[in-house]
Structure 1
Amino acid sequence: MAPSNATRQSTSKRRHSHNEGIIPLLARAVREVEASAQRGKTTPANRTKFQVIALLMREERARVKTAEGLSDNERAETLKRLDGIAGILAKTAARDTSLITLLEPSAPITDATRQLRRKLMESAGIELPAEEERPAPQQAAIVPPELAQRQVVPPLVTARMRSNPFLEPDLTPAKKPAPVVRLANWELLGPLLKAFEQGSGGGSACMTLPEPPVVDRLSPKNFELMPHQSRFIESVRQGHRTFLLADEPGLGKTAQSVLAASVADAYPLLVVVPNVVKMNWAREVERWTPLRRATVVHGDGQDLDAFADVFVINYDILDRHLSWISKMGFKGMVVDEAHMIKNTQSQRSRNVLALSERIRKRTPGENPLMIALTGTPLINEVDDFRAIWRFLGWTDNEKPLPELLHALEENGFTPADPGFYPAARESVIEMGIVRRRKIDVAEDLPSKRVVDLPVELDDELGRSIREAERELARKLYERFERSSAGKLGKELSTEALIRMICAQELEESKSQSGQNVFTMVRQIGQAKAGLAADYAAQLARSVGKVVFFAKHIDVMDTAERQLAEAGLRTVSIRGDQTAEFRQQQIDAFNKDPKVSVAVCSLTAAGVGVNLQASSNVVLAELSWTDAEQTQAIDRVHRIGQEEPVTAWRIVAAQTIDAKIAELIDGKAGLAARALDGVELRPEGSDSVQLLALMHLLRGAIAEAE
């Protein structure tokens, strides 16, 4: 007997509810994520899938509870199946606790999450809301409406634009797009990311670089490029223009970028950086390309030199300067610490991506020099590549752009072929990924080096420090004037008088309170503490363990608090600890992979401590002697250390701190002269404190004249 219409409809409805729609897709997907967690740490792709399942499960539950046309039994059965999916999500999150935050409705949603959600909804036959059918382009406007009122135009910018109101004509023949046949209907961004997630094919993620030239004709006198740096510059000279320069810290990425701009004639050049390295960039431009001028943009840019070659601006103030930057006609752009733009929904990322697209369109041939610098392009997941690839013009929000797409087409594979993934990874690398580790180029490096990072103290504390420095200089000058007018002025030379006055001031400073050279340097250390901790956090995420040295407890306290807020575990080595507790802290740093930073007292941890689990040292405050600084660095640079050691010395620009750093370096010649027989100019026996005071007084005398 044939089934009735009612029976057929009932059977059809049950089949649809059990085997079609979104729930079967979610059930299969959640089992895949569960299996991944059982095998070990959940992969980035499965983390994205986990979040999408949670999103769609909540949406389906809300829909089922209010849907019309469902019987009570059907509603109860559907909710029961959704509860089963929720139970598997909960068990998986209990196995891998890093997934718990993704269950929160407020968890941030990435581009990859949105794309996978749309894909699953389409597969389930669910009609997308109109606003989700195709994401709106994010680069429609350089200056978003909400930032329009904040825009500033530094005075000299208008003058420069008027002096050259026309862009040079673009005579480059238009490129004919290569035909895309094999990959025409494939979604490719996901497979490209998967190729890196799996490390398909293995090997270093470094493009093929030419051999270095026999003669270095690029670096200025008394500066020599290392072979790995020369190879990068030679690649630029041969015409390559887009790079993810991901060398480990300490391998000279800044110098390579500065010289790349010179070789490519990519001026004017825009450089976007974290505030902590802004002053160092300007110094590196002057060091490596002395015929080029750099200008640093502060605040509203009132002191900007609009006729400079290189414009250095920090992320935090970029939103005020979008308007004039978009019209300046930059021929190149460098983004330092490029992992800071990984969240494409953040205003910071949108600003950078909008400017990069603008610069590409306004550069003849649409081929500007674009360099993303970061020792850690991937912070949490392989999706972090997306923003960097978009900045470089390799992809847009949805797909590879023509040059990369053509390279993938040439490989002869589709994502259905196993060979696609190693070939695709190599194709992306050859677009311009350059990654070298310290250990790989150890023959090019000295075994130990100190790198100064000048920082600008442009807050209220920084201004008070500079005022205190001027006040101390006035105090010394008044003494100098009185002594010059008296008997001593006739008996002593000017230089001898300067030395005598500064020696008196130094003796008084040791026994009297009030503003003096010691309190001033301590205030500078307090002002640098946050910037130094921020740089230590960046290093820890880039290369692993970091040793942070400071002289004063309050600076250490600030650093530990800021590092904890950044989610980094620290140990502390101080003078008030027992020997047993101190050794526990040292062992934890050397053996526990979860401990990222050792925050150390320069005096308490400067001797007798082994911290060779790290090869990077941050010197937040300056020592008064080179020997003390060297002892601190040697806690890391010891027998058994397998990597070159780099000490990053944080120096407050335009303060006495910079002079003290210079004086310490001068004192370093003593050991080389006494122990190694190196012929160096004698520096004398005066203390750094005395020489610093003499420097202040000479400056005041010169200013008065």
Structure 2
Amino acid sequence: MGEERWERAIEAKLRMSERSKEEKKSEGKESMKITKIKVYVNGDGKVVLKPSNKRLSTELSRLDESVYDVSSNEWRISVKDYMAVKGGLRRNGLVFDDIPKGTLRIAKKETDSQEFELLGDIYGMLLPFQREGVQYALRQGGRIIVADDMGLGKTIQALAVSYYYRSEWPLLIIAPASLLEDWADACRRFLGEDAVVMRRKEDFGQVVGIVSYEMASSNGSVLLGSKAGVVIADECHYLKSMNTKRTKAIVPLLQRASRALLLSGTPAVSRPLELYPIISSIDRTIFPRFAEYGARYCNGRKVGQWYDYKGCSNAEELHYILKKCLMIRRTKDEVLSQLPPKFRRQVVLQCKGKQRDPAKELVGENVDTNVVAQYREAVKLKIDQVKQYISTIVEKDMKFIIFCHHVEMMDGLEEFLREKGVSIIRIDGSTPSSNRHMLVKSFQENEEIKTALLSITACSTGLTLTAGRAVVFAELYWNPGVLLQAEDRIHRIGQKNSVDIIYLVARGTIDEYVWPKLLSKLNVLESLGIGSNQLKNVGATSQLGNLWQFNIKKCN
């Protein structure tokens, strides 16, 4: 009897032992369960890991400087600690997209606070914030994107940095054709240099040369041979498309130069994809392959046989990279508290006719054709109402600017204004660049000229029209960056009066479709820290059908 009890006890212990082994095995499998987490560098240069779980907590709680945020359920650690623990995290079944090596290198880089001695007349012309911009550029070795708001003096800052490196000249300035004479004037005024506007190959090889993007893209190899040590690229968003002839010719010029200064109030006009050529021009070693950049920051994904890089991902990390050592950006609100205010209004026009549903028309294989057709149809529907509104401004006897997108609208408004006896200037894509400077000067200085009739695409950048008191957009344009640049032709240094910005939008036209798209693109730029959605309080709505809940809205 005793032996039987003893045998049963032994069997029970064996069964318990086997069960314990199975339980441990099961727990082991559970502990190695694959778990996806998100890892990125935040705006403070810390690595964020989320959402937290038991395995992540076990690994990171051992670190001396790790911080756990209960509200967001995330851990924050230093880049150094991340490099030390990321292998262990993966061995414990945690899956995550690694932070690019170039990003980690920037995050580990110590912030430079060196102050450079600035000797020369040009430095005495700088405002305090412009002087700090020059110092920042010098700390980055003269390779930087100057992305200050339109009207804050990017030109004088770029020339001040260039002057510091004058022993490394020739200086090459690349700019839109319409701005060549403005740059020549700036060189004379700020540097005391007679810069040569290079319009033929025979003009190349100057100590200070100014060339258009078109001329530079057609003569890239010749300019490479000129060995310009300092290169300025004004309105560098002209380089936003990687595969264009222009970008392929000019980016190597910037990469080869000892100093490269890229200027734009909107370096990316709608998405992170457009920043890659610009970043590569400053430092090609950060993201040597576009595939890595596209996957990380453009929400790269395979669609059929192709990859789509039109999205936005890890915006906070990209913003940090730009701010840390690639770009300086100040807004007017930050540095020019004395600049008069800018008021925006959206005026809804009640047209007699109505277009077909834009949302239905702008799909399918013929999108581009339909867009053109919709815009032209909108011109016919709204032009009489636009004229009626313009009449109210003419009666105020003040200088103002009208921006149009299509020649039909410009022709109609020019005829209307001249019939009313209004003295105007007109600048569009057909206006020779040599005439633009004279026309702008006449608007600025001649009291008899009341109106500047301008093409949005031809005149949104580079022109200073501070004599104006108001800007009227007779038509919308797809690109929000272009609209904001156009606004700031009058709202910049030199403006002494408050200014009105008026968007004329017509009910029942393509305007109903375009406005929400503009807001969406501006939201992306705001997340990257290279713009702000300044239009979101001007009749903003994401619901197409509810755009017209009011007629006029005003905001600061």
What range is the shorter-chain TM-score in?
Answer: 0.3 to 0.5
Normalising by structure 2, we get a TM-score of: 0.42
Normalising by structure 1, we get a TM-score of: 0.34
Highest RCO, 1 vs 2 (Cα 8 Å, sep ≥ 6): 2
Higher helix share: 1
